[in-house]
A = this chain, B = another copy of it.
Amino acid sequence: MKQLNVAILGCGTVGGGVARIISEMNSEINTRASKKIILKKIVELNPETASKKYNIDLNLFCGGGKKLTSDEATKYISDIIHSEDIDLVVETIGGTSNFVHQLCLDIIKAGKNLVTANKALLAERGKDIFELAEANNVKIGFEAAVCGAIPIIKNIKENLTGDKINSISGIMNGTSNYILSRMQNENLEFEEALKFAQENGYAEADPTLDINGGDAGHKLILLTKLAYGIDVSMEDLAIVGIENIEKEDIDFAKEIDAKIKLIGYVKKVNGNIYATVRPMMVKNTNFLAEVNGPTNAIRINNKYSGIHILVGAGAGSSETAMSIVSDIVFIARYGEKIKNTAEHQERKIEDSRKFVFPYNITFHTADIPGTTGFITTAIGKQNINIETVSHNRHSGEKAQFSVVTMPTTLGQIEASIEEIKQAKPDMLLSEPKIMPILN
């Protein structure tokens, strides 16, 4: 039986999980790959911690198990990249630094396959990495980079190849879904729910990238590349996070039988591609509304086969590591026949402000007769049809209500709000909150 030699760079939560699964499941994965998969080397600054935590033989660590300086680690990494004895490198260092970016390029230049969970790097700086891999016929496994354990990459690339994707929408960040679920179910404000998320290990001490939509944006960029072959930037997505979601927003969502979820959404309409990441009011008839807690879920709408939904763990040591090990098995088995992504399409994504949705717009106004009429008239002038206007919540001299529109664009809504501001500078007490509604 042939063999495939693996090195792991960075033995933290994910890298440690990979080492553990390769060791515990060695006979199964060898059979499945029709190759011996051998973990040859690990580079890690603190081998002892990793060894204990993930039950890894200390001899596998470069340096024989002693702590490494950063310089020593760099030297060992260089040895691995230039070793004839390594076929595949697992990059679980993470981050988008020049060091990691160059490292991935070097791995590919050396003709070694690369498996990584590094969504930020591939999404923000992946273009030349994928191009170099193409040129060198090197395989990149990045199943673990998108929604942890959910095998969404292979489902798109290998399983649904007899179909055309109309759209992909999903809950792509477990932390924000955990926070929104607790706000929803326990009537909490954002700050309280975030605190619970941190206490329960579902949010980092610095949760910025999870709650500001950045992490979901990285995943949507990779899915867009896979589904439609186009390169999209974070700016293209016009990302909105969940930091400003309040109890009252959740109440307005309840009024229209919906739940607020942070949704990544890419859709092809008449040949044009639209994509965005933002909180949406997901109707309870949509499966995504039922997905609670730190779970991720992806909904694919296909031309021939209709709706597919995949639900699974979005993060976690062994969960994410499973995806990496599956990538190793896939590369070991099918090698050079694999395609890394879809054929590259030279075209631009559309302005996300032209992405059509029904919208919910929440207004805080002075409590003056005629306000509702003035606002709904301004909306109508932009050719937006109104579906419903919520019960008006008067409190003191303030009023608060929501308008649900028929399908329209953010651009049209913004124009109507601009008109209200121009004509009645004192009418709006704060910036209206605009949220797409997902049916």
Contact = CB atoms under 8 A, between A and B. Distances in A.
Contacts of A306: 149, 312-313, 316, 319
Interface in A291-347: 302, 304-313, 316, 318-319, 321-330, 333-334, 337, 339, 343
B330 A305 contact: no
A207 B326 CA distance: 40
A159 B326 contact: yes
A138 interface: no
B322 A305 contact: yes
A31 interface: yes
A305 B149 contact: yes
A135 to B, nearest CB: 17
A275 to B, nearest CB: 20
A429 interface: no
Given A154-B158, A318-B305, A163 B312 contact: no
Interface string A267-282: 0000000000000000
A343 B328 CA distance: 19
Interface string A20-32: 0100010011011
Contacts of A143: 159
Given A309-B311, A310-B309, A162 B321 contact: yes
Copies in the complex: 2
Nearest to A155: B151
Interface in A146-172: 148-151, 154-155, 158-164
Chain B CB within 10 Å, residue with most, of A154, A161, A334: A161
A206 to B, nearest CB: 26
A311 B326 contact: no
A290 interface: yes
A23 to B, nearest CB: 12
Chain B CB within 10 Å, residue with most, of A34, A150, A151: A151
A196 interface: no
A339 B333 CA distance: 10
A374 interface: no
A301 to B, nearest CB: 11
A174 to B, nearest CB: 12
A300 to B, nearest CB: 9
The 10 closest A-B pairs by CB, nearest first: A162-B325, A151-B159, A149-B305, A305-B322, A162-B326, A309-B311, A304-B318, A161-B329, A304-B322, A308-B312
11 contacts: A25-B162, A31-B343, A151-B308, A162-B323, A162-B325, A163-B322, A163-B325, A305-B323, A308-B310, A310-B310, A310-B311
